C-alpha cells in the first residue's frame, strides 16, 4: 500500500517498514549531543591557530557530527515521516554548526555585534537614534526592538544577547523553512532534506546579533506565507502551444497582464484570512523597511519572482513592499544619503565591477586565509551545482524556487553593498537552492510540469545507496561549513582579556578623547556611542617599519593592542609574526605607557602632549 507521505519518492526506493530502527535516530541524536558537549567543554579557544575554530575541536566533535548526520539520514528515509523527531534532530544539528563558537569562545565574536549593542544602548538611554553618526542608525527599527527587549528583561545592555544569538535565530528560521519546504512544490522528504542542507551549508556569518539576521527571518516569513497562501492554477499554455513553442509560450505568459494581476493563482484560505494575512505581511514589510537597507528590496524581488511564477495572488503586496522601501529611504534615511547619493546609486549596472569587488578583494592574505576563502567559494559552487541538478530532475507545479534563487542576484546590478552584495544575494537564495539541491536526490515526480532531464530510477538497493549518498553529502557539507564558517575566528573571536581591556578603557577614557586601534577587531562599541572617538589604522600599511607615528598624529590618547588584532595582521594584512610586539616597543619608546595588561591585551596611555580632545 502506498504511504501518502512517500509521494515524490521514486517507487523503487521507497523504504520498507521496519520497527527495529524506530528509536535509533533519536538515540544517535542524544549520543551526538553528549559528544558535542564533551567537545566544547574540552576545547580551548586560546589555542586557536590560523585555521580558526575547527583547529581547537577534538575528535568527539567530529564523531558527534558524523552520528547526527547518520541519524538525520535514517530518520529522513524512515517509512513514515516523523516531523517531531526531524525537528529535534535538526535542532541538535544546528547546535553543531551554529552553537559551537558560542559554546567554545569565552565572549561573543564579531565587532559588529558589539556596535549594534551600543546602538541599542544609545536608544535605551536617549529614546531616539543618533543622527549623522553611522549609516546603520538611519534604519533603527531592529535597534529599537532590541532596546525594548533589553528594557523588558531588566538588563542594562544587550551584551547578554550576543553570544547565543546565532543559534537562537537559526532555530527561529526553522519555522518558516518548514512552511516553505511544505508548500514550495518539492516532496515532503525532499523538503526536510532541503532544510538539513540549508543548515549544513550556511557558512555565511550573517546570523550574528544584527538587523540583517532579524530581517532574514522577516524575508523567510513573508515568502513562506505567500507560498502557503497561494498555489499555482493550472498551466494554461496548452491551448496555444500548437502555434508557439512551449518555452516561448511560457515566457510570454510569465509577463502577461493576468499573471501580473495574480489571476493564475488560487487560494484555499478564506477571504477574511487572506485579507488578514495581507495586513500582517504589510506590517512585517514596514518593520523591514525601517530596520535594514537591503532586505526590503530583496523582499520586493522575491515577491516579483512569486508573481511571475504563479505563487502570489495579490500584486498589491509587491507595490506595498516597493512603496515602504523607497519611502523610508527617501524620508527616514535621508540623513544617510544627503551629501553622498552616489553611495546608493553609484553602482547601478556595474555588475562586473561589483562581482570583482565582492570576490577578488577577499582572496588576499596568508595561505590559511586564502584557503578558507577558497573553501567558502567551493562550498557555494558545489551547492549551486547540486541545485542545478535538482532543478533539472524535478517535476514542479511552478518554477518559484528557481526564481527565488535568481531574484536576489539582481541586487548585484544595483549595488555592491560595500563588497558584501554577493554574499547577501547568496544568503537570500540559500534556502531555495537547498531545496533544489534536495530535489537532486529526491525529485518530485508528480508535478504537472515536465522534468528537463529523464529520470534515473534506483534499483533494489536504492534505499541504502540513497541514504548513504545523502549522509555523505550532508556530512561533507557540514564539515566544510564548520571549517570555513569559523575560519576567521582567529581574529574575529575575542578573549576575556580583550573584553576586559576594552571595558577598562571605557571606564577611564574621557569624553572627546580618541581611542586608537590597529583594526577594529575587538569587542568594542557597546557603550558610550558618540561620546568618544575611535581611530582605526585599518587600511594603512604599517610596514616596512611599524609606525607608531600614525597614532601620534591622530592624537590617540589610548591604544589597545590585542591578540585578535595581531592575528588579523598576520593572516590578512601579511605582517610578520610578532609585529605587534615591535609596535608596542615603538610606542613605548615614543612616550606611551602601559596602563594595564592582560595575557591577550594591553592598554597603552599616551603622554599628555599627544592628547587633543575633539
Partner 1 sequence: MSYAVIVASGALAGPPAVLVSTVAILVLLAARAWSGTMGLTLTRRVSLYVDGAIGVFFVLFLVFVIVRFKSLAG
3-state secondary structure of 81: coil
Of 299 and 515, CB closest to partner 1: 299
Nearer to partner 1, 181 or 325 (CB): 325
CB of 310 to partner 1, least distance (A): 17
Write down the least CB distance from residue 349 to partner 1, Å.
17
Q: Select from 314, 369, 555, 605 the one that contacts partner 1 (CB under 8 A).
A: 314
Sign of CA dihedral 324, 326, 330, 332: positive
CA distances from 589 to 80, 537, 548 (A): 73, 19, 9
Q: What is the DSSP string of 217-249?
A: HHHHHHHHHHHHH-EEPPPTTGGGTTTS-HHHH
For residue 533, give the H/E element and its range: strand 533-536
Q: Which is nearer to partner 1, 278 or 389 (CB)?
A: 278
Chain positions 124 to 163 lying near partner 1, rule: CB under 8 A, are none
Nearer to partner 1, 101 or 228 (CB): 228
- Closer Cβ to partner 1, 191 or 262, answer by number: 262
Stretch that binds partner 1, among 182-190, 311-319, 516-524, 536-544 (CB under 8 A): 311-319
| Residue ranges in 242-301 that form contacts with partner 1 under rule CB under 8 A | 271-272, 274-275, 278
User: What is the closest distance, in whole angstroms, from the C-beta atom of residue 58 to partner 1 in the complex?
Assistant: 56
Taking the CA atoms of the chain, what radius of gyration do you get in angstroms? 26
**Is the Cβ of residue 339 or residue 544 nearer to partner 1 in the bound state?**
339
Under rule CB under 8 A, which residues in 365-394 are in contact with partner 1? none
Q: The C-alpha cell of 293 is what?
A: 537597507
Going by the DSSP 8-state scheme, the letter that residue 211 receives in this structure is H
**Minimum CB–partner distance for residue 130 and partner 1 (Å):** 20
C-alpha cell at 241: 502551444
Least separation in angstroms between residue 217's CB and partner 1 is 24
Closer of 284 and 524 to partner 1 (Cβ):
284
Of 389, 424, 390, 426, nearest in space to 406 by CA: 426
**Closest CB 398 distance from partner 1, rounded Å:** 21
Q: What is the DSSP letter of 53?
A: G
CB of residue 323 to partner 1, shortest distance in Å? 6
367-370 contacts at long range (C-beta below 8 A, 24 or more positions apart): 368/49, 368/50, 368/51, 368/571, 369/50, 369/487, 369/488, 369/571, 369/572
List binders of partner 1 among 533-552 (CB under 8 A): none
Helix (H, G, I), strand (E, B) or coil at 371: helix
For partner 1, which is the closer residue by CB, 252 or 340? 340
Nearest distance in Å: CB 228, partner 1: 16
The answer to whether 504 contacts partner 1 (rule: CB under 8 A) is no
Q: How far is the CB of 179 from partner 1 (least distance, A)?
A: 21
For residue 49, the 8-state DSSP code is: B
The C-alpha cell at 489 is: 575566528
Q: Which is nearer to partner 1, 320 or 517 (CB)?
A: 320
Are β-strands 556-562 and 514-517 bridged in parallel, bridged antiparallel, or unpaired?
Answer: parallel
Interface with partner 1: number of residues (CB under 8 A):
20
Whether cis (ω within 30° of 0) applies to the bond prior to 315 is no
Distance CA 277, CA 269 (A): 10
Contacts of 601 (CB under 8 A, 6+ apart): 495, 497, 498, 500, 501, 560, 561, 562, 563
Q: Rule CB under 8 A: which of 315-354 touch partner 1? A: 316, 319-320, 323, 326-327, 330-331, 334, 337-341
Which residues of this protein are in contact with partner 1, per CB under 8 A? 271-272, 274-275, 278, 314, 316, 319-320, 323, 326-327, 330-331, 334, 337-341
Amino acid at each position: 500500500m502506498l504511504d501518502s507521505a512517500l509521494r515524490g519518492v521514486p517507487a523503487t526506493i521507497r523504504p520498507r517498514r521496519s520497527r527495529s530502527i524506530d528509536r535509533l535516530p533519536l538515540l544517535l541524536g542524544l549520543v551526538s549531543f553528549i559528544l558535542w558537549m564533551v567537545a566544547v567543554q574540552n576545547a580551548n579557544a586560546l589555542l586557536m591557530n590560523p585555521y580558526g575554530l575547527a583547529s581547537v575541536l577534538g575528535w568527539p566533535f567530529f564523531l558527534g557530527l558524523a552520528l547526527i548526520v547518520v541519524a538525520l539520514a535514517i530518520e529522513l528515509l524512515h517509512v513514515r515521516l516523523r516531523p517531531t523527531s526531524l525537528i529535534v534532530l535538526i535542532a541538535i544539528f544546528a547546535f553543531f554548526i551554529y552553537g559551537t563558537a558560542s559554546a567554545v569562545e569565552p565572549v561573543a565574536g564579531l565587532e559588529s555585534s558589539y556596535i549594534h549593542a551600543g546602538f541599542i544602548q544609545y536608544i535605551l538611554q536617549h529614546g531616539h537614534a543618533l543622527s549623522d553618526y553611522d549609516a546603520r542608525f538611519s534604519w533603527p527599527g531592529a535597534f529599537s526592538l532590541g532596546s525594548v527587549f533589553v528594557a523588558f528583561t531588566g538588563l542594562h545592555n544587550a551584551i547578554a544577547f550576543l553570544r547565543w544569538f546565532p543559534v537562537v535565530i537559526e532555530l527561529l528560521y526553522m519555522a518558516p523553512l518548514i512552511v516553505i519546504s511544505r508548500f514550495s512544490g518539492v516532496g515532503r522528504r525532499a523538503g526536510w532534506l532541503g532544510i538539513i542542507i540549508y543548515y549544513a551549508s550556511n557558512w555565511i556569518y550573517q546570523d550574528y546579533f544584527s538587523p540583517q539576521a532579524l530581517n532574514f527571518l522577516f524575508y523567510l516569513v513573508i515568502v513562506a506565507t505567500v507560498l502557503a497562501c497561494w498555489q499555482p492554477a493550472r498551466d494554461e499554455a496548452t491551448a496555444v502551444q500548437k502555434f508557439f513553442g512551449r518555452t516561448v509560450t511560457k515566457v510570454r505568459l510569465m509577463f502577461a497582464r493576468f499573471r501580473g494581476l495574480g489571476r493564475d493563482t488560487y487560494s484555499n484560505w478564506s477571504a477574511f484570512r487572506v485579507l488578514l494575512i495581507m495586513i500582517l505581511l504589510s506590517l512585517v514589510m514596514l518593520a523591514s523597511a525601517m530596520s535594514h537597507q537591503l532586505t526590503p528590496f530583496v523582499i520586493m524581488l522575491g515577491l516579483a519572482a512569486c508573481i511571475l511564477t504563479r505563487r502570489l495572488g495579490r500584486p498589491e503586496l509587491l507595490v506595498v513592499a516597493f512603496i515602504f522601501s523607497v519611502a523610508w529611504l527617501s524620508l527616514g534615511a535621508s540623513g544617510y544619503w544627503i551629501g553622498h547619493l552616489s553611495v546608493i546609486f553609484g553602482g547601478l549596472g556595474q555588475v562586473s565591477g561589483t562581482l570583482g569587488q565582492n570576490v577578488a578583494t577577499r582572496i588576499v592574505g596568508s595561505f590559511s586565509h586564502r584557503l578558507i576563502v577558497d573553501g567558502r567559494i567551493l562550498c557555494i559552487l558545489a551547492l549551486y551545482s547540486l541545485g542545478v541538478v535538482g532543478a533539472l530532475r524535478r517535476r514542479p507545479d511552478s518554477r518559484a524556487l528557481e526564481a527565488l534563487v535568481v531574484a536576489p542576484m539582481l541586487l548585484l546590478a544595483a549595488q555592491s553593498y560595500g563588497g558584501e552584495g554577493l554574499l547577501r544575494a547568496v544568503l537570500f537564495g540559500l534556502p531555495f537552492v537547498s531545496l533544489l539541491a534536495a530535489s537532486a536526490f529526491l525529485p518530485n515526480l508528480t508535478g504537472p510540469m515536465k522534468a528537463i532531464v529523464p529520470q534515473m530510477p534506483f534499483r533494489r538497493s536504492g534505499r541504502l545507496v540513497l541514504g548513504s549518498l545523502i549522509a555523505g553529502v550532508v556530512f561533507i557539507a557540514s564539515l566544510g561549513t564548520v571549517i570555513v564558517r569559523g575560519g576567521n575566528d582567529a581574529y574575529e573571536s575575542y578573549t576575556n582579556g580583550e573584553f576586559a581591556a576594552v571595558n577598562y578603557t571605557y571606564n577611564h577614557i574621557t569624553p572627546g578623547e580618541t581611542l586608537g586601534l590597529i583594526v577594529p577587531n575587538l569587542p568594542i562599541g557597546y557603550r558610550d556611542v558618540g561620546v568618544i572617538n575611535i581611530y582605526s589604522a585599518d587600511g594603512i600599511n604599517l610596514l616596512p617599519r611599524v609606525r607608531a607615528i600614525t597614532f601620534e598624529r591622530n592624537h590617540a590618547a589610548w591604544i589597545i593592542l590585542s591578540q585578535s588584532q595581531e592575528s588579523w595582521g598576520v593572516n590578512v594584512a601579511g605582517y610578520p609574526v610578532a609585529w605587534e610586539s615591535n609596535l608596542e616597543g615603538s610606542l613605548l619608546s615614543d612616550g606611551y605607557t602601559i596602563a594595564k595588561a592582560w595575557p591577550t591585551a594591553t592598554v597603552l596611555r599616551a603622554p599628555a602632549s599627544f592628547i587633543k580632545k575633539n
